[in-house]
Amino acid sequence: MAKTTAVKEVPVEDRLMQLWELQQIDTQVDKIKILKGELPEEVHDLEDEIEGLNKRVSNINDEIAEFDQEVTNRKSTKTLAKELIIRYEKQQDNVKNNREFEALGKEIELQKLEIQLSDKKIAEGNARIDAKKEILAETEKQIKAYEKELKAKKKELDKIVEETEKEEQELLAKSEKVAKKVDERLLKGYNRIRKAYQNGLAVVSVLRNSCGGCYTKVPSQRQAEIRQRKSIITCEHCGRILIDFTSKDAE
């Protein structure tokens, strides 16, 4: 009969120390992210803003081109109307009866109305073009301002990244290595608690009889249980995992 190998369960104290070690590493990573501040997000937002404004510039240029083509077409219509008026007026000199003369007179009036309409449309088109050009100039001015701001923020971010990238990568690799040792269920709980708090603290020590995360007083009996390290104990107020960490543990 084959022998079965029993899986050795990791003592609670060791699991707590693994979580504590993981927390210390992740806290160092968080500090680097704090150093970067909101720069990565600000850079991304500026890039999106510039992209959106560039699309707006493209759309405005398309609209200006359409208005300009309409003005050109109206000018051509006006020129043709003038030519027709001249032709009809010459034809009036050679008509044989009043009916033909009046018919040509109506055509001349229609062409004069066409000229008036074209003048109106040309004026409206030019006004729209001028308005769009004002918006275009303002938009391009805004793009330049954003590009200048983006350049400055990228320079600042690049400097921070250059100074911290190696350290951050080493810490992330270390965090991943330690996380693999942690019980899967505990790790999920740890990550869930970290995400719940802006400072990323999921495992805290008891400081001056209080939770090191929310500073709520921890009852004496509960502190005694925490010191024994025989079970995973969380803060009754904030839900963080509590540990009695001493200088001896750091050795």
pLDDT per position as a tens digit, 45-102: 999 999 999 999 999 999 999 999 999 999 999 999 999 999 999 999 988 899 999 9
Query: Which token pair is 193?
Result: 């608690």
What domain range includes position 235?
A: 12-35+183-250
Q: What angle in degrees, to the nearest 10, is found between the helix axes of 98-179 and 39-92? A: 170
* CATH code, 127: 1.10.287.1490
Q: Is residue 6 part of a domain?
A: no
Handedness of CA 196, 190, 192, 168 (dihedral sign): positive
200 in the same domain as 150: no
In this prediction, residue 246 has a pLDDT band, given cuts at 50, 70 and 90, of: low
25 in the same domain as 138: no
**Angstrom distances, CA of residue 9 to CA of 15, 89, 106, 181:** 10, 110, 105, 12
Q: Is residue 2 part of a domain?
A: no
Q: What is the mean pLDDT of residues 12-19?
A: 92
Q: Is residue 1 part of a domain?
A: no
Q: What is the mean pLDDT of residues 113-137?
A: 96
Q: What is the mean pLDDT of residues 188-207?
A: 94
